[in-house]
Amino acid sequence: MHIEIDQDRCCAAGQCVLAADDIFDQRDEDGVVVLLDHVPDNADALARAQEAAGLCPAGAIDVKD
């Protein structure tokens, strides 16, 4: 799984953290998305990462298999 995030676009809505808090987090200072260091890489994680990308209001997440 390959995930790209675009921190400039992110509007800190937190949808990604709700969908997959083992993959995404929000920076303390401004709530902007960050990727966690060790993200699970399996079918379930992929599905949740894709769900996060679909929910993200800012189109800031791109997930590739």
Partner 1 sequence: MTETALPTTAHGTADSTAATEPATCPHSAPRNAPLVAPDTAGPAPEHPRYPLARAAGCPFDPPAELAGLREHEPFSRVRVWDGTPAWLVTRYQDQRAILTDSRFSADATRPGFPTQSPGIAARRRSGNPLPFITMDDPDHNRVRRMFTSYFSVKRARALVPRLNEIIDGLLDDMERAGAPVDLVSTFALPLPSLVIAEILGVPREDQHLFQSRSRVLISMNSTANETMEAMEELGSYLGDLIDAKVTDPQDDLISQVAVDHMLTGGTTRARLVQDAMLLLIAGHETTTNMIALGTLALMRNPAQLKAVRDAEDPAAVAGAVEELLRYLTIVHTGRRRLATEDVEISGQLIRAGEGVILSNDSANRDATVFDDPDELDITRPNARRHLAFGQGTHQCLGQNLARQELQLAYPALLRRFPGLRPAVEEEAIRYKHDAVVYGVYELPVAW
**Is 36 near ligand SF4 (CB under 6 A)?**
no
The pattern of x and - marking residues 27 through 56 that bind partner 1 according to CB under 8 A reads xxxxxx---------------------xx-
C-beta atoms surrounding 36 within 10 Å: 12
Considering only 3, 15, 23, 49, the residue that binds ligand SF4 (CB under 6 A) is 15
Q: Following DSSP, what letter does each residue of 18-59 receive, concatenated?
A: HH-TTTEEE-TTT--EEE-SS---SHHHHHHHHHHHHH-TT-
Binding site for partner 1 (CB under 8 A): 9, 11-15, 17-18, 21, 25-32, 54-55, 57-59
